[in-house]
């Protein structure tokens, strides 16, 4: 169906794709795996005409084709679904789908005709999408199917899916895979970019593994396993399981008592939540994103104005409900935010300036009378310590945070927060967009912190991550804790059911 | 590998430089079309700034207010705020300086032989009066700048709108006070009475023998240089500057770091206004010795251009202010000595420079070829 031959693409000094070659057989599901920055998205963007390759060629059905723009790609029957949906929220499904390919003449938009056609395509693949529904009323899983429909409506024979399962619940992933299999049966070819090895093994026929811009392996899925794929991706043996001794919980550090949070619109984001985290244990919170986890962590970190919060937060037995963010840090509450670019980093500032964020006003970051002047030596020492302890690369304190890969940015943040040192760690999506090697490292650090007696509250959208790391696991749905489960005994299906409001 | 810091510096210098050169090329074409020689025109425009003592003296004098307003805009910008109100802030400040110089300098506002319109509160000695005048200028500017900061912090109303509106209010307010309370009756010019001589600051000619004292370059220029140093130290060497910059770069992250964004917004706007207010020191205490209505040659607005060209860095602001001062000075000569081109060419060149600075993206492509641009994200 499609073949890439010696595709090379350079961005400045970085070789993003180095003679990338692989071919995808028609009617198959082909997975492309690799760590962040391995070049898999670049290769696919070249195939879709977002970028043009510096050299190399692309063959479609055996013929060399020039793909200069996404329009060329669409004309050749290639469709792409991006990780971040490109939908206009207040518009209907039909309006979104015809956008850029409007039927009818220039003056009159024939939406009825389009809706009928969309319904036909939707039925053919059993997507069950209503063409007249408004996007903002659809669930994330439904929105994704709209994206699929968009490509199918344009008669795509080859679909490129960039990290399609990142936003889905376990149930939705299952449904989604069923749709992909149906599409394969109907003769469509699918390329799926992912970093979740379990999904690769579950859905794909063939796998291409990329590392540092090069293809390091083309294997049949039936002839490989997770360990081999991980080794190919990282270039060394990787421990896929988290190894941790049993927790030895101590005194309660954090007590949350009937905590409710409302949004600016007055709607409840978190509804009467109570729980405890003890020293030396990791309490995980599992849930579909957007069910109140963000608000919970932000409220605990002191980042939500008191007017929106009711209930009590006690820290080491003392009331901390009204303490601001600075005070909570001083008490020993560290926070690794879910969105490192929005909350966690000053991207254009140096690593040194980033390592003092939150402690920039006290020693060792400041010196002189009244602690006003920034102490460059003290800051440098602290930065070098974090860089060394958390293996941040490249180890240059003067570099802007923007220049680091996602994994290294995350290690920098975690290093900064661990350096406090914390009595309570609030950590949200610790390994989002982080490569396998760094995930292993971060998990080990969190467990080590727990073993040193720190209380840890962990939120993650990765079910495998929360179940593997947590000593106790709370499930959140619609702003309420719907249950506590034993992470060692529970199955993904049970948690998945609770996450979506059903009872286990 | 060249060090990252060096490449960054090169970029910081190269962009403004290209913008200026490009503006001169475009300007040259316009001059040619109008029917004059671009080379002759530019010789007049730039060359006239370098004669001694008048050229250099006046150029630095013109640069003084632009350094203050450029710094004012830069400080606000580093906090993520656009201060379009330096113009209003400097008017209020200049008037405040004159007011203190009159009311506390023992000056009675009256026509010769006529009744007193306004009598002083006190007649303070120079050692108190002069600093008080300076503080009045900075303080008035800080308050006038702090108001939109406060409004933004409290109610989230946009500082651009509020600073623009406060410009109108400032101009009208000081005109009113000048006209009805501080003008000598019968004076045909809209200006206040003269301030007490004890509130004058010295012209630099007093210390530099080769510089005649008729040239109004005064100690305020030294203050401008000190203000550059102050802004640099404040922004990059203190925890307060760290908080201002963090807020400007990423308010969410600053908040996460326990920084009160509201406080930073008010603080940065007040500092910005205070810097703009220092224009009043140059104007009233160092040059005219009175408040002269409508004195500002758009210093507040040109300050935005100065900050933009100077990349919101004190060193850049200083250089950009000098460049714009050269143009201001040269414009007078272009007006007088060319056939067709008027001094409006200065406004045009300023405008084009800004367009080119703002259109930085235009140069990204070519510069990327030389490896001077940031690497694209993979």
User: What DSSP string describes B295-314?
Assistant: --SSHHHHHHHHHHHTTT-H
- Chain B interface with A: residues with Cβ < 8 Å: 4-5, 236-240, 242-243, 245-246, 249-250, 252-253, 255-259, 368, 371, 373-378
Ramachandran angles phi, psi of A216, nearest 5°: -105, -5
Do residues B348 and B264 share a domain? no
Mark yes or no for CB contact A342/B246 under 8 Å.
no
- Spatial CB neighbours of B17, under 8 Å, sequence gap ≥ 6: none
- Spatial CB neighbours of B140, under 8 Å, sequence gap ≥ 6: B89, B92, B93, B95, B96, B97, B277, B280
What residues are paired with A456 via a beta bridge?
A282, A425
Contact B378, A14 (CB under 8 A): yes
- Per-residue b or e along B179-196, where b marks 16 or more CB atoms closer than 10 Å to that residue's CB: eeebbbeeeeeebbbbbb
CATH number at residue B208: 1.10.3470
Q: What is the pLDDT of residue B4?
A: 61
- Determine the residue among B258, B260, B262, B377 to mutate to test chain A binding: the one whose Cβ has the most chain A Cβ atoms within 10 Å: B258
Residue A191's H or E segment, with its range, is strand A189-194
Q: What is the pLDDT of residue A443?
A: 94
> Which residue among B245, B253, B375 places its CB closest to the CB of A345?
B253
Number of domains forming the structure of chain B: 2
Residue reference for tokens 């439904």: A142
* B349 in a structural domain: yes
- Spatial CB neighbours of A358, under 8 Å, sequence gap ≥ 6: A325, A326, A329, A416, B256, B257, B258
- Cα distances (Å, whole numbers) of residue B345 to A206, B56, B331, B339: 67, 21, 7, 13
- Determine the residue among A213, A301, A325, A340 to mutate to test chain B binding: the one whose Cβ has the most chain B Cβ atoms within 10 Å: A325
Q: What domains can be seen in chain A, in order of their start residue?
A: 2-234 (3.40.50.300), 252-342+418-499 (3.40.50.300)
> Which residue among B252, B259, B376 places its CB closest to the CB of A343?
B252
What residues are paired with A92 via a beta bridge?
A134
> Which residue among A12, A366, A398 places its CB closest to the CB of B375?
A12
Helices (H), A277-361: 293-300, 325-331, 351-355
Task: Say whether B138 sits in a helix, a strand or coil.
Answer: helix
Low-confidence ranges of chain B (pLDDT < 70): 1-5, 360-378
Mark yes or no for CB contact A343/B375 under 8 Å.
no
Closest chain B residue to A365, measured at CA: B239
Do residues B73 and B178 share a domain? yes
Mark yes or no for CB contact A12/B237 under 8 Å.
no
**Looking at CA atoms only, how far is residue A57 from chain B in angstroms?**
20
List CB contacts (< 8 A) between B250 and chain A.
342, 345-347
Q: What is the pLDDT of residue B361?
A: 58
Closest chain B residue to A361, measured at CA: B239
- Could you give the CA distance from residue A315 to residue A323 in angstroms, rounded to a whole number? 10
Do residues B328 and B343 share a domain? no
What residues are paired with B235 via a beta bridge?
none
Q: What is the pLDDT of residue A241?
A: 74
- Could you give the CA distance from residue B83 to residue B161 in angstroms, rounded to a whole number? 10
Do residues B282 and B355 share a domain? no
Residue A347's H or E segment, with its range, is none
> Which residue among A11, A345, A373 places its CB closest to the CB of B237?
A373
What residues are paired with A446 via a beta bridge?
none
Contact A277, A455 (CB under 8 A): yes
Mark yes or no for CB contact B253/A342 under 8 Å.
yes
> Which residue among B5, B240, B255 places its CB closest to the CB of A398?
B5
**Looking at CA atoms only, how far is residue A404 from chain B in angstroms?**
10
List CB contacts (< 8 A) between B253 and chain A.
342-346, 357
List CB contacts (< 8 A) between B373 and chain A.
12
Ramachandran angles phi, psi of A366, nearest 5°: -125, 165
- Long-range CB pairs of B179-185 (<8 Å, 24+ gap) are B181/B109, B181/B117, B181/B118, B182/B98, B182/B99, B182/B102, B182/B109, B182/B117, B182/B118, B182/B291, B183/B109, B183/B117, B184/B109, B184/B110, B184/B111, B184/B117, B185/B110, B185/B111, B185/B114, B185/B117
Closest chain A residue to B253, measured at CA: A343
Q: Is the peptide bond before B221 cis (omega within 30 degrees of 0)?
A: no
Q: What is the pLDDT of residue B364?
A: 57
List CB contacts (< 8 A) between A357 and chain B.
246, 253, 256-257
Do residues B247 and B370 share a domain? no
- Chain A interface with B: residues with Cβ < 8 Å: 11-14, 16, 37, 39, 41-42, 301, 303, 324-327, 329, 335, 337, 342-349, 353, 356-358, 360-361, 365-366, 371-374, 396, 398-399, 402-403
- Spatial CB neighbours of B230, under 8 Å, sequence gap ≥ 6: none
Count of CB pairs separated by less than 8 Å, A with B: 91
- Could you give the CA distance from residue A24 to residue A30 in angstroms, rounded to a whole number? 7
Q: How many helices (H) and strands (E) does chain B have?
A: 15, 2
Residue reference for tokens 């039925």: A123
Contact B195, B188 (CB under 8 A): no
Rg (CA), chain A: 25
Contact A191, A160 (CB under 8 A): yes
**Looking at CA atoms only, how far is residue B128 from chain A in angstroms?**
28
* B232 in a structural domain: yes
- Cα distances (Å, whole numbers) of residue A8 to A21, A152, A162, A245: 10, 29, 20, 46
Residue by residue, pLDDT tens for chain A (504 residues) are 899 999 999 877 778 899 999 999 999 999 999 877 788 888 999 999 988 899 999 999 989 999 999 889 999 999 999 877 888 888 999 888 888 766 655 556 678 888 888 898 888 888 888 888 898 888 888 888 899 899 888 889 999 998 888 777 777 888 899 999 999 999 999 999 987 888 899 999 999 999 888 999 999 999 998 888 888 888 877 766 778 889 999 999 999 999 999 988 888 999 999 999 999 999 999 988 888 999 999 999 999 999 999 999 999 999 999 999 999 999 999 999 999 999 999 999 999 999 999 999 998 999 989 899 999 999 999 999 999 999 998 889 998 998 888 888 999 999 999 998 999 999 999 988 787 778 889 999 999 999 999 999 999 988 889 999 999 999 999 999 999 999 999 888 888 888 877 654
Do residues B372 and B297 share a domain? no
Contact A354, A401 (CB under 8 A): yes
Do residues B217 and B250 share a domain? yes
Do residues B15 and B66 share a domain? no
Do residues B76 and B2 share a domain? no
* B43 in a structural domain: no
- Cα distances (Å, whole numbers) of residue A169 to A53, A268, A463, B148: 36, 22, 9, 46
Contact A59, A2 (CB under 8 A): yes
**Looking at CA atoms only, how far is residue B323 from chain A in angstroms?**
28
Task: Say whether B30 sits in a helix, a strand or coil.
Answer: helix
Q: What is the pLDDT of residue A253?
A: 97
**Looking at CA atoms only, how far is residue A264 from chain B in angstroms?**
14
- Spatial CB neighbours of A215, under 8 Å, sequence gap ≥ 6: A20, A21, A22, A208, A209
- Could you give the CA distance from residue A66 to residue A504 in angstroms, rounded to a whole number? 53
* B216 in a structural domain: yes
List CB contacts (< 8 A) between A331 and chain B.
none
List CB contacts (< 8 A) between B258 and chain A.
324-327, 329, 358
Do residues B107 and B60 share a domain? yes
List CB contacts (< 8 A) between B371 and chain A.
12-13
* B286 in a structural domain: yes
Look up the domain containing B1 and give its range.
1-36+339-378
> Which residue among B237, B253, B377 places its CB closest to the CB of A357?
B253
- Determine the residue among A349, A416, A428 to mutate to test chain B binding: the one whose Cβ has the most chain B Cβ atoms within 10 Å: A349
Q: What is the pLDDT of residue B339?
A: 83
- The angle subtended at Cα A208 by Cα A207 and Cα A210, nearest 5°, is 140
> Which residue among A337, A361, A373 places its CB closest to the CB of B256?
A337
Do residues B373 and B353 share a domain? yes
- Could you give the CA distance from residue A409 to residue A495 in angstroms, rounded to a whole number? 31
Q: Which of B169, B122, B141, B152 is nearest to B247 (CA)?
A: B152
**Looking at CA atoms only, how far is residue B224 from chain A in angstroms?**
22
What residues are paired with A60 via a beta bridge?
A2, A63
> Which residue among A12, A303, A372 places its CB closest to the CB of B376?
A12
- Spatial CB neighbours of A415, under 8 Å, sequence gap ≥ 6: A355, A386, A387, A389, A390, A392
Ramachandran angles phi, psi of A283, nearest 5°: -105, 125
Q: What is the dihedral of CA B218, B220, B221, B224, to 10 degrees?
A: 180
> Which residue among B4, B236, B255 places its CB closest to the CB of A399?
B4
**Looking at CA atoms only, how far is residue A371 from chain B in angstroms?**
8
* B287 in a structural domain: yes
- The angle subtended at Cα A207 by Cα A203 and Cα A212, nearest 5°, is 130
Q: At what angle do helices B239-249 and B261-277 cross, to 10 degrees?
A: 110
* B198 in a structural domain: yes
- Could you give the CA distance from residue B42 to residue A7 in angstroms, rounded to a whole number? 51
List CB contacts (< 8 A) between A13 and chain B.
371, 375
* B64 in a structural domain: yes
**Burial class of B370 by CB neighbour count within 10 A (0 to 12, 13 to 18, 19+):** exposed
Rg (CA), chain B: 22
Mark yes or no for CB contact B240/A366 under 8 Å.
no
Do residues B68 and B146 share a domain? yes
Both structure tokens of A128: 């069950």
Both structure tokens of A420: 């406090």
**Looking at CA atoms only, how far is residue A372 from chain B in angstroms?**
6
- Could you give the CA distance from residue A28 to residue A157 in angstroms, rounded to a whole number? 11
- Could you give the CA distance from residue B261 to residue B264 in angstroms, rounded to a whole number? 5
Q: Which of A171, A174, A129 is nearest to A151 (CA)?
A: A129
- Could you give the CA distance from residue B367 to residue B358 in angstroms, rounded to a whole number? 16
């Amino acid at each position: 169906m499609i073949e890439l031959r010696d595709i090379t693409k350079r961005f400045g000094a970085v070789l993003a794709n180095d003679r990338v070659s692989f071919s995808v057989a028609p009617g198959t599901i082909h997975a492309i795996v690799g760590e962040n920055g391995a070049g898999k998205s670049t290769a696919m963007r070249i195939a879709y005409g977002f970028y043009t390759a510096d050299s190399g060629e692309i063959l479609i059905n055996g013929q060399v084709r020039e793909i200069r723009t996404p329009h060329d790609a669409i004309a050749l029957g290639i469709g792409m679904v991006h990780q971040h949906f490109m939908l206009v929220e207040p518009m209907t499904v039909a309006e979104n789908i015809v956008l850029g390919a409007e039927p009818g003449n220039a003056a009159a938009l024939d939406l009825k005709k389009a809706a009928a056609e969309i319904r036909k395509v939707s039925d053919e693949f059993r997507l069950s999408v209503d063409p007249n529904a408004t996007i903002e009323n659809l669930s994330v899983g439904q929105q994704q199917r709209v994206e699929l429909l968009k490509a199918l409506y344009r008669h795509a024979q080859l679909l490129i899916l960039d990290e399609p399962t990142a936003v889905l619940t376990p149930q939705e992933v299952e449904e989604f895979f069923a749709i992909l299999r149906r599409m394969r049966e109907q003769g469509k070819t699918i390329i799926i970019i992912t970093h979740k090895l379990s999904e690769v093994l579950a859905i794909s026929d063939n796998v291409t593994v990329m590392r540092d811009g090069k293809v390091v392996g083309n294997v049949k899925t039936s002839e490989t396993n997770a360990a081999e794929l991980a080794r190919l991706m990282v270039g060394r043996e990787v421990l896929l399981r988290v190894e941790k001794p049993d927790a030895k919980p101590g005194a309660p550090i954090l007590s949350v008592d009937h905590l409710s949070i409302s949004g600016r619109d007055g709607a409840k984001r978190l509804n009467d939540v109570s729980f405890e985290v003890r020293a030396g244990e990791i309490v995980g919170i599992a849930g579909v994103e957007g069910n109140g986890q963000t608000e919970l962590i932000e409220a605990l970190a002191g980042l939500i104005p008191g007017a929106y919060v009711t209930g009590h937060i006690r820290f080491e037995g003392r009331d901390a409900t009204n303490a601001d963010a600075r005070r909570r840090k001083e008490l020993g509450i560290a926070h690794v935010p879910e969105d490192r670019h929005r909350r966690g980093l000053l991207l254009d500032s140096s690593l040194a300036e980033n390592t003092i964020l939150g402690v920039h006003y006290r020693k060792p970051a400041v010196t002189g009378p009244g602690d006003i002047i920034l102490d460059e030596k003290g800051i440098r020492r602290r930065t070098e310590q974090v860089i060394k302890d958390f293996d941040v690369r490249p180890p240059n304190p003067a570099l802007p945070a923007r220049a680091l890969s996602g994994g290294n940015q995350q290690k920098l943040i975690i290093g900064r927060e661990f350096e406090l040192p914390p009595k309570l760690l609030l950590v949200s999506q610790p390994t989002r967009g982080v490569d396998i090697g760094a995930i292993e490292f971060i998990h080990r650090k969190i467990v080590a912190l727990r073993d040193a007696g720190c209380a840890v509250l962990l939120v993650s959208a990765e079910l495998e991550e929360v179940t593997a790391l947590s000593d106790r696991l709370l499930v959140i749905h619609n702003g309420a804790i719907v249950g506590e489960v034993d992470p060692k005994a529970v199955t993904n299906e049970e948690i998945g059911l609770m996450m979506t409001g059903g009872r286990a | 590998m060249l060090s990252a810091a060096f490449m960054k510096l090169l970029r910081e210098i190269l962009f403004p430089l290209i913008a200026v050169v490009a503006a001169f090329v475009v300007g040259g074409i316009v001059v040619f079309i109008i029917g004059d020689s671009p080379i002759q025109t530019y010789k007049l425009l730039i060359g006239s700034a370098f004669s001694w003592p008048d050229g250099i003296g006046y150029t630095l004098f013109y640069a003084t207010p632009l350094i203050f307003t450029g710094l004012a805009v830069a400080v606000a910008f580093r906090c993520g705020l656009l201060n379009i109100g330096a113009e209003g802030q400097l008017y209020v400040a200049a008037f405040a300086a004159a007011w203190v110089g009159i009311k506390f300098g023992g000056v009675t506002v009256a026509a010769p032989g006529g009744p007193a319109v306004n009598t002083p509160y006190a007649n303070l000695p120079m050692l108190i009066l002069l600093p008080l005048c300076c503080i009045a200028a900075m303080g008035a500017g800080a308050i006038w700048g702090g108001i939109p900061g406060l409004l933004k912090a409290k109610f989230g109303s946009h500082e651009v709108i509020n600073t623009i509106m406060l410009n109108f209010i400032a101009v009208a307010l000081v005109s009113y006070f000048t006209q009805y309370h501080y003008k000598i009756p019968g004076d045909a010019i809209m200006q206040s009475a003269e301030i007490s001589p004890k509130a004058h600051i010295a012209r630099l000619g007093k210390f530099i023998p080769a510089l005649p004292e008729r040239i109004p370059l005064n100690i305020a220029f030294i203050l401008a240089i000190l203000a550059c140093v102050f802004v640099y130290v404040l922004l990059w060497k203190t925890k307060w500057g760290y908080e201002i910059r963090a807020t400007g770069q990423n308010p969410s992250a600053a908040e996460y770091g326990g920084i009160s964004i509201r406080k930073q917004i008010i603080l940065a706007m007040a500092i910005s206004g205070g810097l703009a207010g220092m224009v009043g020191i140059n104007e009233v205490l160092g040059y005219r010795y009175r408040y002269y209505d409508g004195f500002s040659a758009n210093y507040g607005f040109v300050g935005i251009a100065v900050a933009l060209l100077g990349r919101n860095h004190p060193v850049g602001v200083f250089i950009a202010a000098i460049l714009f001062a050269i143009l201001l000075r040269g414009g007078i000569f272009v007006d007088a000595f060319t056939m067709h081109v008027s001094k409006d060419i200065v406004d045009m060149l300023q405008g084009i420079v800004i367009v080119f600075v703002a259109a930085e993206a235009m140069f990204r492509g070519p510069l990327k070829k030389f490896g001077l641009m940031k690497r694209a994200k993979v």
